[in-house]
Structure 1
Amino acid sequence: MAYRLLTRSPRPALDHRLQAALLAQADLGGARLAELGRWQAWGAPRTGRGREESARAAAQAMEALRELLAALCRLYGVAVSQRPGGDRLVCVLEARAPEGYAPALARPGPVPAAGEADLEFFLRLLFGKAGFRPGQREALARLLEGRDAFVVLPTGAGKSLVYQLAGLLLPGVCLVVEPTLSLIDDQREGLARAGLGRTAALTSDMDAAFERARAMAELIRGECRFFFVSPERLQTPEFRRALALACAGPGVNLAAVDEAHCVSEWGHDFRTAYLRVGDALSRLEPRPPVAAMTGTAGPRAREDVARLLGLQTGSLIAPPGLGREELSFSVLRCPMRDKPERLAALLGSGGRLVFCPHAQGPFGAQEAARGLRARGHEPGVYHGRPPAGQDERLWRAARRAAAAAFRDDPEGLLVATKAFGLGIDKPDVRRTLHLGLPGSLEALWQEAGRAGRDGRPAECWVLLDVEGLSRARRLLDPRAPLERVRAEVEAVPSGERDDVLRALALHLSAFRGIGRELEDALEVYGRLEAGRLDMPTQHPPLVERALYRLHRAGAVEDYAVRYGEGGFDVVLGEERLGRCALEAALRRELAAVYGEIEPERRAALRDLVEACLEGRIRERTALRLGAQNLPRAVSKNSEPAEEGGSLGLGGFQPRAWSIWKYAVKKARSAASAMKFTFS
């Protein structure tokens, strides 16, 4: 384990190279680790320095190694090895381990003897931090003991450090599930800056098969300390096989689900793969402890995330209070036609981040960037899919260059969708500006939390257009029938919609209705039963959602997704369901979704609109997140809401979760497996 920590970077510092060389000699029989306190340096290491300076470096490295080994022994509750070897004289002529040396890999397992002093020692050694912030040590201790941890800490409060330190102290590879490519890049760059360069990732921008194969080989051989993937990768057959081999080899010491609120928020909306992350982790042998990390999850979202990930009871660690007193919130009410001009006037100086609800179309990221350029600004643009007609590979390069330029420029200006905002650690963002409504107060808090991470004051603006309060009150009432809401929204041309109607249009695209989803699932199942390899010629994510519904209903035992090929590997349940039984099971599943989750999403949007109209974003966010014990800080409202501005819907309380559980028998025959692609 000591050798692993000392070689945590592909290019270790000189003192780490010396210490690794000493450990290698001991491991090869050149010294007794049990007599470490009596070691003496013999000769000067070949470091390219003078003899006295080199000897001093060797002595200092030896002393630091003693401290490291002593802390590791206390941490793991063991004594140093009594391997046979030489006496107290240790040769350190080379500042590196012998060519081809590789220590035996330890298997992952709990570390129950982690003392606070030793954890702080490793915190200083690996990250240069003086001490833990609230919640960090408790979460770290749970993970080292082999238990799950659901960590809810304010944005900028050091959630990532918890899984990173645990992943370094536990033998094996730490699997990290991230929601966006930009966050994978940011996390890997942050680790590299801390001298923790042995990371790998499997991402959608790897065009060549050999790149993907090389990344998975690093995972299987345990050559990386952290391996980053998206939730979709856990559904692919090739990665499932690689992950199983890694579990059988070096082992997976920890599974970290970063920005875990996305499991519930995005999983039910537009990324079905998130709903199956817990299922994928439960299939690993052995299942590693799971670290779910988020800064924005209220009580209902926490219950949903814990259920979907299968977290152990009592895993929640959530210090009270929202924090982030350096952020001030302002709402500017203005009609849609005036937003480009008002946005440009509000930019100010310092790092600035403009959030748009979508990439294309009116008030999308591309159009907002064009409007700013027309007014003399030079923003970068970042969103997921490439603009229409642009090569995907060129777009990836341009997007990555825009993100890097924004991070490196104190006066950087970036227009982005939520594909960029999560977890990005640029300390000097002075202002965030929302050109439309995100889906909830939690989403607004998360995205606005990119500002002020250096602790200095920062401003968070929302440019809001609500044309009809009575219409907003009617449509955002979670008791209103969904199809009536759909009819009213679709009756207004897209170019004439205000922010509430635009947000509801996105909501309706995610929740298509019980009838439509039932029709999709029955059609997909009918084709599978008939042995047909073609699927309905519809958007592939809709087929994936239908397969998930069938899996929940017990008709599909398992499925994997071939995202690059547009196909799926499907294992049907052993017992075939008749149409009536299947339809009844699907209706029960969909009733839970449309009776609980969909109305709660509309209630969340209603709460956001009310908070903006009342100028009480911080207070209403605290209520939703269950963090009421925070200093009062009234949001600024540059244009007061009209009288009666609150939507006045009262507190909608959906029924307690009553998800129907299905007993699914495992398929016994490979003949139940099918593969299909889109026709």
Structure 2
Amino acid sequence: MQAARSPLDILRHTFGYEQFRPPQQEVIETLMQAQDALVLMPTGGGKSLCFQIPAMAKPGAGVVVSPLIALMEDQVNALRQAGVAAAALNSSVSAEDIRATEEALRQGQLDLLYIAPERLLQERTLRLLQQCSINLFAIDEAHCVSQWGHDFRPEYLQLKLLHERFPTIPRIALTATADPKTRVEIIERLALQRARIFSRSFDRPNIRYHIHSGSQGARQALLRFIRDRHDGEAGIVYCLSRKRVEEIAAWLQDEHLDALPYHAGLGAEERRRHQQRFQRDEGVIIVATIAFGMGIDKPNVRFVAHLNLPKSIEAYYQETGRAGRDGLPAEAWMHYGLQDVVQLRQMIQQSEADQQRKQMEGHKLDAMLALCETITCRRQTLLDYFGETLAIPCGNCDNCLTPPATWDATIAAQKALSTVYRTGQRFGVQYLVDVLLARDDPRIQQWGHHRLAVFGLGKDLSANAWRALFRHLLLRGLVEVDSEGHGGLRLSPLSRAVLRGEETLTLRQHENSPSRKKEKNQEIQPADQALWEALRQHRRELAQAQGVPPYVIFHDATLMEMLRQRPRSLAGLAHIPGVGERKLAAYGDSFLAILQSHDAQS
């Protein structure tokens, strides 16, 4: 347990950083004064220090409520590396370790205790905490309290109990994904009406966004993206179904990439093994459903790719936010198709949720589609969803870097809508496209649709272009999916204005653009590559010896600063961000030896 020190002293000597980032210092001062706080800060923005430092600076221990075991293990490992007395209580901890942790808490030997909400809410645990000196409660991933959010956890609804049982102990709720409605719900459900609210920009300027559409070519586009831009680097590929996860992981392995599947259908031991390899080895790609990632604190994930459309901007933001947590350049890449839109709309309509819930989920999907189909800056659209205004285009998304071509799709839309109507508003997209292109399909003859005026009316566009157009019509609410039938399309009241020529439609041109190539590790000069690899190799060896992920030793950003500054002494190494006193004593000499050896050879 740390002796009494100031927050800035802890920041510098324990964590190895010279100054706080806004608004960390204000949040910490709020908790030091026993006031509640609500912190809205992007992934990688430094939320954890907001509660870790005051828990260490005040007498007693801080209790951190965390929804996932993997997240607890990561943070406890990292804190122990820095010399902080931290422990966790969850279902993966042995009975012997639980007893030792509880005794350490009673004796005042812990700075931080991470605990799952289910265990925290047990009467036995609450009595234990009442017997101990607790200096704060931190509720991490606070958006889990929202029943209208994307990651609802029922047990989070009961955390208001902390305010009732421990009214004098300050609480801090933290999240990186909350639209204005969810923020209001967090305040209400956790009784944080008197909390100070700290909201930092949701922008992650180091992430470059690429979104592509099309019904074909997704696999090869993904392969080009990885090989050209992230060869040998860690990444996550998200898919909608377990089956596709297995298929894509196997295919990437056949392409000689180090890829592993992860989904809830795998055994617990296999999931643990794959997650551990991803965290501890370099260059591993995890192919996963959304079951993976919330508890991952790996800072050097260089890309997150989606091969299916996420169901909401919150989900997309949280998943892409797992890239580039170290602040170095990273990329969010997506390829989606019309079938994703149809499938997600059907899932919403066929769910057992009430009508209000279905309507809310439909609005969230519409917002996600608007982000995909926009012809303006994606970052402006993304931030606007979270109630934030970006004054000028970001210059770091595909639309800014290569402005998309547009076309007047009004006449084509009229043809598509007429085809939906004249075929009886009961057929899916592929059949409608076949009619427009006068394809030789027995069903068309059977239904007599070859005699319609719209038969063959669409030969001026390709099948892919028609599919893209139908996707736009779905997005704009001009057609709807018949959830009671077999996914056929029907006209909505909004289609009338387009059919009558009262409204025009300007759309993004259909394209399957290849990604532009960049040099791997663009921040590393060729002359520095050997030293960079030597530093990473030494870090890897230290991590393997201790059974922890490499980034728990030092982040890539810390190694990058060693490479840039080339310190020649322990005093110089101590000024590198991320090198605290404990790590300096444990690893300083060996990293200096590598730096000095390289200088001698240069």
What TM bracket, shorter-length normalisation?
Answer: 0.5 to 0.7
Maintained 8 Å contact 1:351/1:411:
yes
Instruction: Tell me whether 1:330 sits opposite 2:210 in the alignment.
Output: yes
Alignment match, 2:398: 636
**Cα deviation 1:522-546 (Å, max 9, x = unaligned):** xxxxxxxxxxxxxxxxxxxxxxxxx
Conservation of the 8 A alpha-carbon contact between 1:613 and 1:641: no
Counterpart of 1:347? 226
Q: Looking at both structures, which has the greater relative contact order when contacts are Cα pairs under 8 Å and sequence separation is at least 6?
A: 2
CA 1:508–1:226: 2 relative to 1, 3 Å = farther
The 5 Å alignment of 1:164-175 reads 164-175=52-63
Give the residue type in structure 2 aligned to 1:250.
C
Letter matched to residue 197 of structure 2? L
Indicate which of 75, 85, 92 corresponds to 1:187: 75
For 2:73 and 2:11, locate their aligned partners in 1 and report how far apart those are by CA, in whole Å: 23
The answer to whether 1:623 aligns with 2:502 is no
Structure-2 separation of matches of 1:600 and 1:139: 33
For residues 266 and 440 of structure 1, the distance between their equivalents in structure 2, rounded to whole angstroms, comes to 12
Deviation of the 1:607 alpha carbon: 0.5
Q: Distance in 1 between matches of 2:56 and 2:346?
A: 44
Q: Aligned-pair distance for 1:151?
A: 0.8
Instruction: Indicate conservation of the 8 Å contact 1:177/1:228, yes or no.
Output: yes
1:292 counterpart SS class: strand
Give per-residue Cα distances to partners, 1:262-297, cap 9 Å, x unaligned.
Answer: 22268786532222222x323423453211112222
- Displacement, 1:443? 2.2
Determine the structure 1 residue equivalent to 2:476: 648
Cα gap change, 1:629 to 1:610, in 2 (>3 Å): closer
Deviation of residue 461 (structure 1)?
0.6
Counterpart among 486, 490, 500 of residue 341 in structure 2: 500
- In the other structure, the counterpart of 1:305 is 186
- Aligned counterpart for 2:372 among listed residues 612, 617, 620: 612
The amino acid that maps onto 2:140 is D
For the pair 1:224 / 2:110, whether they are aligned, the reply is yes
Is the Cα–Cα contact under 8 Å of residues 352 and 432 in structure 1 kept in the other structure?
no
Displacement, 1:245?
Answer: 1.9
* 1:105 alignment partner in structure 2: none
Match of 1:148 among 25, 30, 36: 36
| Post-superposition CA distance 1:604-636 (Å, at most 9, x none) | 221011111225431122111122135422631
Question: 1:181 and 1:161 mapped to 2: Cα distance?
Answer: 19
Once residues 180 and 418 of structure 1 are traced to their aligned partners in structure 2, the CA distance between those partners, rounded to angstroms, is: 13
Contact 1:281-1:287 at 8 Å conserved across structures:
no
What is the letter of the counterpart of residue 70 of structure 2?
S
State the shift of 1:433 in Å.
0.2
Deviation at 1:501, TM superposition (A): 3.7
Query: Structure 1: which 5+ runs fail to align?
Result: 7-68, 73-117, 467-497, 515-593, 651-679
Output the aligned Cα RMSD. 3.0
The separation in 2 between residues aligned to 1:503 and 1:212, in whole angstroms, is: 43
Shift in alpha-carbon separation, 1:267–1:273, aligned structure 2, 3 A: farther
In the TM superposition, residue 302 of structure 1 has moved relative to its aligned partner by 0.7
Structure 2 residue corresponding to 1:137, chosen from 25, 48, 53: 25
Could you tell me whether the CA contact under 8 Å between 2:303 and 2:331 is conserved in 1?
Answer: yes
Which amino acid is the alignment partner of residue 255 of structure 1? F
Amino acid at match of 2:337: D
Is this contact kept in 2: 1:350–1:430, CA < 8 A? Answer: no
The structural deviation recorded for 1:150 is 0.7
- 1:345 CA displacement: 3.0
Hey, what's the Cα distance between the residues in 1 that align with 2:99 and 2:239? Answer: 35
CA distance in 2 between partners of 1:641 and 1:376 (Å): 38
Q: CA separation of 1:144/1:186 partners in 2, compared to 1, >3 Å: closer, same or farther?
A: same
Q: How does the TM-score come out when normalised to structure 1?
A: 0.55
Cα separation, 2, equivalents of 1:176 and 1:259: 11
Tell me which residue corresponds to 2:303.
Answer: 431
Give the equivalent residue in structure 1 for 2:2.
5
Alignment map for 1:438-477 (pairs within 5 Å): 438-466=310-338
> What's 1:244 paired with?
127
Q: Secondary structure at the match of 1:254?
A: strand
What is the distance in 1 between the residues matched to 2:106 and 2:406? 58
Is residue 353–residue 416 contact of structure 1 (8 Å, CA) maintained in 2?
A: no
Report the Cα offset of residue 342 of structure 1: 3.2
Aligned partners of 1:219 and 1:243 also within 8 Å:
no
Residues in 1 aligned to 2:95 and 2:148: alpha-carbon distance in whole angstroms: 29
2:12 is equivalent to residue 124 of structure 1: yes
CA distance in 1, matches of 2:313, 2:344: 13
Match of 1:260?
142
**Which letter does structure 2 place at the counterpart of 1:617?**
R
**C-alpha separation in 1, matches of 2:51 and 2:310:** 28
Give the AA of the match of 1:5. Q
How many residues are paired up? 407
Structure 2 gaps, min length 5: 410-468, 479-602
Distance 1:286 1:226, change over 3 A: same
- Pair 173,330 (structure 1): closer, same or farther in 2 beyond 3 Å: same
Q: What is residue 513 of structure 1 aligned with on the other side?
A: 353
Structure-1 separation of matches of 2:118 and 2:241: 21
Instruction: Give the Cα–Cα distance (whole angstroms) in 2 for the partners of residues 435 and 632 of structure 1.
Output: 26
